[in-house]
Structure 1
Amino acid sequence: MQSDLDYIKEQLQKLEERMLKEVELRKQLISDIQQEQQDSARNLIHYLTLRNEDIRELQDLLHIYGLSSLASSESHIHRQLQAINERLGRFYSEEELDICTYPFSKLKIGEKSRMLFGQKKETYIPYLMVTFDSSFANDYAMVKNLLQNGMNVARINCAHDDEATWSKMINQLKKACTATGLDCKIYMDLAGPKIRTKILGKGKHKGKAKIREGQLIWLAENSGDFDKEEIVISPNEKGIIPMLKKGDRVFIDDGLIRCMVEKIKKDRVGIRVIRISSSKGQIKAEKGINFPDTMLQISSLTEFDKSCLPFIVENADLIGYSFVKTAEDIRQLRSELQNLAQNYPSLIIKIETPEAVKNLPSLLLEGMKEKALGLMIARGDLAVEIGFERMGEIQEEILWICEAAHIPVVWATQVLESLHKVGMATRSEITDAGHAAMAECVMINKGEYTIEVMETLRDIVQRTSTHRIKKRFTFRPLRIAERFFNPENLMP
């Protein structure tokens, strides 16, 4: 009967052989990547090879024998496997040992984070990205205050305002940086396709339409010959209506209104209102629409986005790419940027669709043709698209895969949202904010209590970061244990 240790050795050898084989098969792909990114690309492929297997039985045995179970080794997975083999008596030559060790990978992700987000004083606290409100264009005191409270990256959303307002925001920031001696990167988000409600029929003049569960409403590109009492909504982007099919789900206003396609006609689609999770029971104009079951064949890079690129190239350090779905989307943006300048802003790809999750490895490998690449987990749209119940699982998976590729991550959307809007955070938001320590950067949305959010977030993350580096738990002394062993607590 095969001993446990023989089984472990055999399984580890098979895993290593698969890892090396998969990298060899993609030799040309890796050679096309920036030289500084090639070791990271190989580690990504090694990790994906491992995660294509069920190794739970092997992990249990490794743990029983006091060996690494390969968990929390995303950033250096092949070298970790080799280290286990060495403990079991296997010899590797210097040439065989993978260069991607834990210290090497830690150095890599640190270098890439600094390239993207700049320098920061506190090592264990993520970079803080703050979304600029329109009012910041004329509020130097607020911008300076944000900077002094730890803002590392200023986010300007190109879906709002215009170049004149963006210029004022940037001028206020530069003035504050000069006055304080603090550095702050400028991140500009491309708007992407604006799939938002436009009310064409009943309620058009008020900008909102009253609805009820069970009601049939219509999606159409124009008002056409509808009855004046019918509710007609446009998704505001041409070409979407013909892509819909019966049974497809349609979510409106961050999923508060859930519908399903029931009728297909030449120029319109009838959708049945299944659920309304709002007491008001109405559809407002300019609310987001999501089509989680529909493969939307619309470009991630819109004509409006292209018109914004010259300003972004001239003024920004980072460019956020919204609604990325495929590697071709990245190639398209890169081509546009190369036509404008040799040195253009570093790219942050935003993951907010099921297609982006599905294509994540190819998106990273394409993006790694750049010297530095970042990724944003845009949890708002992504949660609606994939389902709220899957969000916890998916955001963890994205973090693991990005760590394997040594890609810095921005944790975005609804961080301490209640605190930001009404001045008090919920208990679940505090826990969520603690998870933000696993990312290299945390994005804060607009709100009334931005400074309070920054202070609270820093406090939470400071505490969390002493227990964990990424998803690897670290053991500092626990106060609970210290109190237990205090001589005063010994029984007489």
Structure 2
Amino acid sequence: MESVNKCGCPPGSGIGCAAGGGQSKDALIRRLGDMRNEMLRFALDCRGAALGEIDPAYARSAENLLHYLALRRHDLREIQSELAELGLSSLGRSESHVMATIESVLKTLCRVADCPPDVSEDMTTLDFKSAKRLLEEHTERLLGPVPEGRNVYIMVTMPSDAADNYALVRGLLDSGMNCMRINCAHDDPEKWTRMIGNLRRAQEETGKPCKIIMDLPGPKLRTGPLRPGPCVIKYRPVRDEYGRVRKPAKILLRAEDAPAPEDRNAYDAVLTVSGEWLKKIHLGGMIRFIDARGSRRSMRITSWTEEGFQADAVRTAYLTLETLLRLKKRDGLGEWRTNVTGIEPQENFVTVSTGDTLLLTGSSEPGCPAERDADEKVTSPAVISCTIPEILGDVNAGDPVWFDDGKIGGVVEEKTGDGLIIRIAHTSSETAKLGSDKGINLPESKLDLPAITPEDVSILEFVVEHADIVGMSFANTPEDVRSLLAHIKRIGKGEPGIVLKIETRRGFSNLPAMLLEAMKSPSCGVMIARG
């Protein structure tokens, strides 16, 4: 039978006690002492395998993580209730200094039980002040100096415009941006270089620090293409609450060989027409046509610029490639005619509502909206494909599926030969639109996908050379982290920090082991991805 000291503390627990203390306190001291010793043994057993290559800056943090993992093996609810009844810490905020918290509680508990503690002189733990200091040091090493006046950092994802819009980047830095995020799933190295150049220029002019994080694309699990939408252009004027025209629609008529307008958003519609026909236009002229709905419409020429003629319209119109524009000749005898050309198909999408079904396929065929009968009842569900069809075999009935950064969510109802039948359970609005190239997240499915893709490897050299931090998308296993660190070491152009993006339940479950791998890097962090 295991022997105990007078107060119930196990021998060798590091706590010497005189007689005293009630039975409940004795038992509580004994249980806490057992847990403390187990934490020490667990950290000691793991030290060779788990802590062997840890960066020295993280050595004590890694050991603290092992202590925490050992502690969380236990159901602490009963102990926490007993500690709370005694007015002691319930261990609920012990994460950053686990052993120090246990020792502090044990010391206090022994004093309450009238058994003075005797902590071993050679016992070194991460105490409360050291833990706070280390957390601050690790944060600053990864993200830079703490911003003045606040204790949070602001990260901003760069749009494509940031490559050529210095004022945008400068404005973001002036407004408090601490970290520029470049999503390598978009744009290319040329644009990334210009984004970084704009930031460096802004930093030189302002003297403000800002880190650069570049997220690797990872496996691009996205929705596939959809059937093209109709080739139609719509414009409409701005009206007030009473339906009166407050601002006419502004239309640009340009020749087929003319350059694209500098600011497409300056116009409600851009119509491409024959250059010869355009030469017949005169200021004040009225262009008439019958639109796609059979409605008679017109627009009046108001001005000319190097981009083409500008016209105003006071009624909504829909134009297609068959729309015939008519301009009366100045002598009133006859008219000049031309068709609108170059209308691109509209981006298509499928619409879903809560309760609908959606078929997710691995087919190369473009997706399509749901088919409905005369009563608007769905006769065939909407269909959309995914860009990595082989993952469909890894998904099971009951698994949740999220689309477009969580805007649409559902549950796999059935696996068929055609794909996955998904019952929609969440939409961001009553009827949600799902287009092509939107993210798909399967947070609880165990997908057989590498976190580092060949595309990631091809751009990693640029990222390591230019970024302060490498963001790893879909980090799921310790092997994923080891692979990233091995590639960074092979490139040999620096040691950027790394951020693990946790996007699946599997990644969350493996987070402790991944953190121990990440701490082999000089600086690391974790991002819980929203998708």
Q: TM-score, normalised by structure 2?
A: 0.65
Aligned mates of 1:347, 1:215 — CA distance in 2? 39
Instruction: Report the residue type matching 1:100 in the other structure.
Output: L
Deviation at 1:224, TM superposition (A): 9.7
Deviation at 1:92, TM superposition (A): 1.2
What corresponds to 2:141 in structure 1? 115
Give deviations 1:411-438, integer Å, cap 9, x for gaps. Answer: xxxxxxxxxxxxxxxxxxxxxxxxxxxx
Alignment of 1:448-467 (within 5 A): none
Deviation at 1:247, TM superposition (A): 4.4
Aligned mates of 2:66, 2:194 — CA distance in 1? 44
Deviation at 1:25, TM superposition (A): 1.6
1:183 aligns to 2:325 (yes or no): no
Alignment of 1:87-486 (within 5 A): 87=108, 88=110, 89-96=116-123, 98-122=124-148, 125-199=151-225, 206-210=347-351, 213-215=355-357, 217-223=359-365, 231-253=382-404, 254=406, 256-265=408-417, 268-275=418-425, 277=427, 278-341=429-492, 343-378=494-529, 380-381=530-531
Structure 1 residues 48 and 39 mapped into 2: Cα distance closer, same or farther (>3 Å)? same
Structure 1 residues 11 and 257 mapped into 2: Cα distance closer, same or farther (>3 Å)? closer
What corresponds to 1:403 in structure 2? none
Structure 1 residues 127 and 201 mapped into 2: Cα distance closer, same or farther (>3 Å)? closer
What corresponds to 2:51 in structure 1? 30
Worse-matched range after superposition: 182-191 or 292-301: 292-301
Aligned mates of 2:164, 2:369 — CA distance in 1? 47
Q: Percent identity?
A: 35
What corresponds to 1:7 in structure 2? 27
Aligned mates of 2:88, 2:350 — CA distance in 1? 62
Aligned mates of 1:225, 1:343 — CA distance in 2? 44
Give deviations 1:190-237, integer Å, cap 9, x for gaps. Answer: 111111111356869643234574546351232299999775422112
Is the CA contact (8 Å cut-off) linking 2:367 and 2:383 kept in structure 1?
no
Aligned mates of 1:123, 1:102 — CA distance in 2? 24
Give deviations 1:335-360, integer Å, cap 9, x for gaps. Answer: 21111115231111111111111101
Give deviations 1:109-149, integer Å, cap 9, x for gaps. Answer: 11111111112353751122122222222222232232223
Worse-matched range after superposition: 210-219 or 154-163: 210-219
1:64 aligns to 2:205 (yes or no): no
Aligned mates of 1:202, 1:248 — CA distance in 2? 30
Structure 1 residues 214 and 202 mapped into 2: Cα distance closer, same or farther (>3 Å)? farther
Aligned mates of 1:57, 1:218 — CA distance in 2? 47
**Count of residues in Structure 1 that have an aligned counterpart in Structure 2:** 377
1:20 aligns to 2:162 (yes or no): no
Give deviations 1:173-205, integer Å, cap 9, x for gaps. Answer: 101111111111111111111111113568696
Aligned mates of 1:193, 1:179 — CA distance in 2? 38
1:54 aligns to 2:54 (yes or no): no
Is the CA contact (8 Å cut-off) linking 2:400 and 2:409 kept in structure 1?
no
Structure 1 residues 348 and 247 mapped into 2: Cα distance closer, same or farther (>3 Å)? closer
Deviation at 1:157, TM superposition (A): 0.9
Structure 1 residues 221 and 240 mapped into 2: Cα distance closer, same or farther (>3 Å)? farther
What corresponds to 2:3 in structure 1? none
For structure 2, the 5+ residue unaligned runs are: 1-20, 111-115, 231-344, 372-379
Structure 1 residues 9 and 257 mapped into 2: Cα distance closer, same or farther (>3 Å)? closer
Structure 1 residues 200 and 176 mapped into 2: Cα distance closer, same or farther (>3 Å)? closer
Please give the secondary structure, in 1, of the residue aligned with 2:154: strand
What corresponds to 2:96 in structure 1? 75
Aligned mates of 1:94, 1:252 — CA distance in 2? 56
Structure 1 residues 274 and 349 mapped into 2: Cα distance closer, same or farther (>3 Å)? closer
Aligned mates of 1:19, 1:10 — CA distance in 2? 14
Instruction: Report the residue type matching 1:271 in the other structure.
Output: I
Please give the secondary structure, in 1, of the residue aligned with 2:68: helix
Aligned mates of 1:161, 1:227 — CA distance in 2? 29
Is the CA contact (8 Å cut-off) linking 2:499 and 2:526 kept in structure 1?
yes
Q: CA RMSD in A?
A: 2.8
Give deviations 1:38-66, integer Å, cap 9, x for gaps. Answer: 21111111112222212233223333333
Worse-matched range after superposition: 290-299 or 197-206: 197-206
Aligned mates of 1:141, 1:323 — CA distance in 2? 33
Aligned mates of 2:360, 2:221 — CA distance in 1? 16
Is the CA contact (8 Å cut-off) linking 1:252 and 1:287 kept in structure 2?
yes
Aligned mates of 2:391, 2:460 — CA distance in 1? 25
Is the CA contact (8 Å cut-off) linking 2:366 and 2:385 kept in structure 1?
no
**Higher RCO, 1 vs 2 (CA within 8 Å, ≥6 residues apart):** 1
Please give the secondary structure, in 1, of the residue aligned with 2:70: helix
Please give the secondary structure, in 2, of the residue aligned with 1:83: helix
Please give the secondary structure, in 1, of the residue aligned with 2:476: coil
Deviation at 1:319, TM superposition (A): 0.6
Give the greater-gyration-radius structure (CA): 2
**Quick check: which one's helix share is greater?**
1
Instruction: Report the residue type matching 2:58 in the other structure.
Output: Q
Aligned mates of 1:348, 1:70 — CA distance in 2? 28
Structure 1 residues 282 and 133 mapped into 2: Cα distance closer, same or farther (>3 Å)? closer
For structure 1, the 5+ residue unaligned runs are: 382-492
Is the CA contact (8 Å cut-off) linking 1:246 and 1:263 kept in structure 2?
yes
Is the CA contact (8 Å cut-off) linking 1:250 and 1:259 kept in structure 2?
yes
Deviation at 1:249, TM superposition (A): 4.0
Deviation at 1:290, TM superposition (A): 2.5
